[in-house]
Amino acid sequence: MFLPYPKNIFPNNLRILIITFSNLTDEGMYKMLNERYQGMAFEKKFFPRLTTEEVKHLKKDDALIVLPIGAVEQHGPHLPIYTDTLIGEGVLIEAFELLDESDNIWMLPPIPYGKSTEHLTRSGTISLSSATLYAFVMDIAKSIQQSGFKKLLLFNTHGGNHDLLNMVARDIRVETGMMVFRLNPSSEKTNSLISEKEQQYGIHGGDVETSMVLSFKSNWVDMEKSAREFVHLPEETKHLYLKGSSYFAWVIDDISHSGVAGDATKASVEKGTLINKSVAETVVEALREMARFDIESIKSETVKQ
């Protein structure tokens, strides 16, 4: 549909935008949107689909609001830069299909960008600063609290966000009184599907992430360009790791030529489907546990001196 505005009212670039967005009325576009927003996650548990009156009357005491946080950053020559955010969306949608309507658990739209400064030397990476991401999450939390909600989950699928989200979670607790959780989705069953070396060093764009994306959106993966590259720590290294409690700071150019840390060549749709299913099942258990959790009940009785 073309909007009949006189030519001289809008600049040329704005007229182009109007013409483009007017095409959203096409039947094919409506069908695409309807197919996008289907299933339990979007039809029953997508927080923004509620009206303001529906939100007002939701039971707040055990409601859990889930905020997905991902990243847009390089994942090697074979994976889309949307990998982390896509995995977060895919796992959550699969997990929400396992919920009951009675579960008072609600999904927010994802924050697609994260703190990805370690990948900024690679094309396509879009990073927020620590201050920006901190403020973004804090503002969302305060808004949720203003509506009466008491529990917020920071559902994170990018390793570079870990430390910052731990910090902002504590500060949200201090400033709002909300119960705040952080979850990086995973499953112990994944280890049975990948090599020991992948378990230890496959932290970016390797077997696991490539398999997960293949399962969710296989046409976004170019397996002909998949890479195999592992970091080589000195044999005598006992206390230094790429992640965990004994850690050294790194950027991707320190540890990889290809942008991959792991073996993407071993990835498959079948493996990804198994991983996604097991992770989604673990996530559902965690979501329900968080919704039940009462932080006021965990202190022991007063200990006499």
Q: What is the mean pLDDT of residues 249-270?
A: 97
Length of the chain: 305
The torsion of the CA quartet 273, 276, 278, 283, rounded to 10 degrees, works out to: -160
Q: How many domains does the chain have?
A: 1
Which pair of tokens denotes residue 253? 């150019």
Query: Using CA atoms, how far apart are residues 153 and 251, in angstroms rounded to an integer?
Result: 28
pLDDT at 237: 80
In the chain, % of residues over pLDDT 70: 90
Distance, CA of 15 to CA of 63 (rounded, Å): 44
* Band of pLDDT at residue 248, cut at 50, 70 and 90: confident
- pLDDT at residue 305, rounded to an integer: 65
For residue range 101-142, list pLDDT tens digits in order.
Answer: 999 999 999 999 999 999 999 999 999 999 999 999 999 999
| Domain harbouring 92, CATH code | 3.40.50.10310
Report phi then psi at 232, rounded to 5: -115, 95
In-domain check, residue 67: yes
**What local confidence, expressed as pLDDT, does residue 5 receive?**
45
Alpha helix stretches (DSSP H) within 37-74: 39-43, 52-56
Q: Is the pLDDT of residue 247 over 90?
A: no
Distance CA 128, CA 115 (A): 5
- 201 lies in which domain range? 49-292
The verdict on residue 110 lying in a domain is yes
Considering the domain boundaries, does residue 100 fall inside one? yes
Does residue 2 fall inside a structural domain? no
The C-alpha atoms of residue 196 and residue 284 are separated, in whole angstroms, by: 27
**Within a domain: 14:** no
Residue 24 has pLDDT above 80, yes or no: no
Q: What integer pLDDT is reported at residue 26 of this predicted model?
A: 65
pLDDT recorded at residue 301? 76
Q: Which helix (H) or strand (E) holds 146?
A: helix 130-146
161 pLDDT higher than 90: yes
β-pair partners for 179: 151
Residue 281 has pLDDT above 50, yes or no: yes
Asked whether residue 81 is domain-assigned, the answer is: yes
Residue range 266-295: mean pLDDT, rounded: 98
